Amino acid sequence: MNSSSNMHASPRTHSHRTIATIIAAALIGLITWVFSGAYAWRGYPADHAHGTAIAVVLGLAAQVTLAAVATMSIRSLPSGRVVLPLAVAAWTIARLTTSSLFPLISDEAYHWLWAGHLDLGYYDHPGMVAWLARLFAPWHGEAAALVRLSSVLLGTGMVWLVHRLARSTTRDHNVADRAALLFMLVPLFAGGSMILFPSMSVYFFWWLTILLAWRAMRGDRLRDWALMGLAWGASTNANFTTFMLPAWVGAFLLLSRRDRRFILRPGPYVALLAGAVGFLPTLIWNATHDWDTLAFNFVRRHTEAQLQIENVGLYVGGLLLMLSPVLGAAMLAAGARQAVRAWREQDRGRLFLACMGWGPVLAFLGFSLTQEVNAHYAGPGFVPLLILFCDSSRRAPHARPRPPTIGTRGAHACTAIMFAVVLAPALIPADTAYAWMRRIAPQQADRAAKRTAEVYGWSAIGAFLDGRGERFGVGTPQVLLAPSYAQASMLMHYARGVDLAYNLGEGRSPFGQQFRHWGPLSTLRAGCEALIVYAGWHDHDADLAEWRRHFDHVEAVSTDIAGADARLKYFTIYRGVGYRGTLRNAK
């Protein structure tokens, strides 16, 4: 009797423990983050007193949160009305606090500069990533968490979209709960929503568009079609990959016998018109800037089309890594089965999900035959396939879905490893990391030094450059030069006293040409003094010979001085005096 009672009480006991655990982890993480001042960190815990210990506490709190979300996703827990909001809140806190613990990556600093130079568009991408970054952080500060705040909040909003989309298409709140919980464990979404890059806004507005499209097709109200179009217009201001979204909606209209009637109704065309209106900011910027963004994305960044079968393997491998291998394979298999079944049975909701999921995945698979394609471009298709996966796991028409434990645990393991890896700069000394890289690739000392500088050194070089006036006794205008847009962006972010670093890669690479709008090399004044900063080690003799063509005097700057940060040794710095006005002709 007692044994039976204990067995029946076990699920409830597990539920209460899981809920208590996730609440405790979230509170510990948030309180530690606020009262330690970690919210103001620039991504380098080791730069602060007790920073390593604080990073460990925050990292452990995030790991406990991920484990609790995985448990919620696998076990039969109470109604999602209680569990899901708690899980989403804790997941948001875990990502927000973790975002303070690792330095910006190159394109993050670049996009953050866009937010400081607001415009209708930019060379590399449309402007949505900058607009949202500035919207959520109007004071445009320096803290890593502030830089990433828009992505963190978009990630939270995406969970809501996943839940709403799953609930409305499958008409099953259990499927919706499972899909939302499992979404939080997918490496691409859990990790990507801690980084400032355009794909987060692409995903958000793409899923908002298809949610509104489904709503429009259920009610056929012009207002809903117009809202769908505006959402699609917003997505086109994030990335041009969203131009193909109407094609997948059109494919569904053709495949669904019940929905073909919309082809002859005004709704879809109202949506297209509203989308064109939403795209106007990017269109206006391009019209006044020689169509730079469109030309770059559709022409200049692509190589000549030729069959490259190996790219298909890289693309598929990328998909599986971003979803986690086991879960990714299970999602693709379930998505294929569900697509065939939905078409045969003319199940509108599942057929719609199949079109929205397989459309991007297959389109970019086709592109990968002739071009190198980043797997995250197909990211908008992952959520519809995730929903189909959760829906396919039901054992009976109205049974609670049970995603296979191995897939959920696999996704959790991959995301947990990723959250642990970002703590490396806080836990592993720079010299140790460099030594490990040298052991892996003994012949690539320069590359190991560059990677060490990029991961560990930006705060050190920023502080060094902030003291350059008193250090060098600058008496003439001094400028800062960096070999690429990525390094120039990082120097501008981490050196508080640097308003502009010139990008020496101008004209040599199709990327980062927004610098030519802020400060082209042609505007450098003859006679000025410059510091040339490289992440990594360079051949001094070759560099000095090159720079002496452009300056009256050039010297290597030693960072081996009393009191200097040891991480500076992974950078190469030159000082040039008497600029001759010839730099734009450099090779």
- Please state at what angle helix 149-170 crosses helix 173-183, rounded to 10 degrees: 150
Phi, psi (rounded to 5 degrees) for 430: -60, -45
CA distance 182 to 74: 9
* pLDDT for 400: 52
Give kind and range of the element (H or E) at residue 399. Answer: none
Burial class (CB in 10 A: 0-12, 13-18, 19+), 168: middle
Give kind and range of the element (H or E) at residue 481. Answer: strand 478-482
* pLDDT for 189: 97
Q: Which residue bears the tokens 């809903």? A: 224
User: Do 382 and 206 meet the contact criterion of CB atoms below 8 Å apart?
Assistant: no
CA distance 517 to 389: 46
Q: What does the DSSP 8-state code read for residue 306? A: -
CA distance 80 to 82: 5
- For residue 486, give the amino acid letter: A
In 3-state terms, the chain is what percent helix, strand and coil (to 5)?
70, 5, 25
Q: Where are the domains of the chain?
A: 445-585
Burial class (CB in 10 A: 0-12, 13-18, 19+), 316: middle
- For residue 242, give the amino acid letter: T
Q: How far is CA 238 from the centre of its chain?
A: 12
Phi, psi (rounded to 5 degrees) for 300: -70, -30
What is residue 554's three-state secondary structure?
Answer: strand
* pLDDT for 573: 93
* pLDDT for 3: 43
User: Do 414 and 58 meet the contact criterion of CB atoms below 8 Å apart?
Assistant: no
CA distance 194 to 50: 23
Q: What does the DSSP 8-state code read for residue 509? A: B
What is residue 535's three-state secondary structure?
Answer: strand
CA distance 152 to 192: 9
User: Do 335 and 343 meet the contact criterion of CB atoms below 8 Å apart?
Assistant: no
Instruction: Give the pairing of strands 501-503 and 529-535.
Output: unpaired
* pLDDT for 55: 97
Cβ within 8 Å of residue 395, ≥6 positions away = 402
CA distance 347 to 345: 5
Entry field: residues in the chain = 587
**Residue 537 is encoded by which pair of tokens?**
């080690």
**Residue 271 is encoded by which pair of tokens?**
């949506």
Q: Which one, of 227, 238, 203, lies nearest residue 277 by Cα?
A: 227
pLDDT 10s per residue in the chain (587 long)?
A: 444 444 444 556 667 888 999 999 999 999 999 999 999 999 999 999 999 999 999 999 999 999 999 999 887 665 557 789 999 999 999 999 999 999 998 799 999 999 999 999 999 999 999 999 999 999 888 999 999 999 999 999 999 999 999 999 999 998 999 999 999 999 999 999 999 999 999 999 999 999 999 999 998 899 999 999 999 999 999 999 999 999 999 999 999 999 999 999 999 999 999 999 999 999 999 999 999 999 999 988 877 777 888 899 999 999 999 999 999 999 999 999 999 999 999 999 999 999 999 999 999 999 999 888 999 999 999 999 999 999 987 644 555 545 567 889 999 999 999 999 999 889 999 999 999 999 998 888 889 999 999 999 999 999 998 876 555 554 556 789 999 999 999 999 999 888 889 999 888 888 899 998 888 998 888 888 999 999 999 888 888 888 999 999 999 988 776 568 899 999 999 999 999 988 864 43
* pLDDT for 169: 96
- For residue 503, give the amino acid letter: N
* pLDDT for 48: 95
Q: Which one, of 565, 492, 488, 475, lies nearest residue 521 by Cα?
A: 488
CA distance 135 to 577: 41
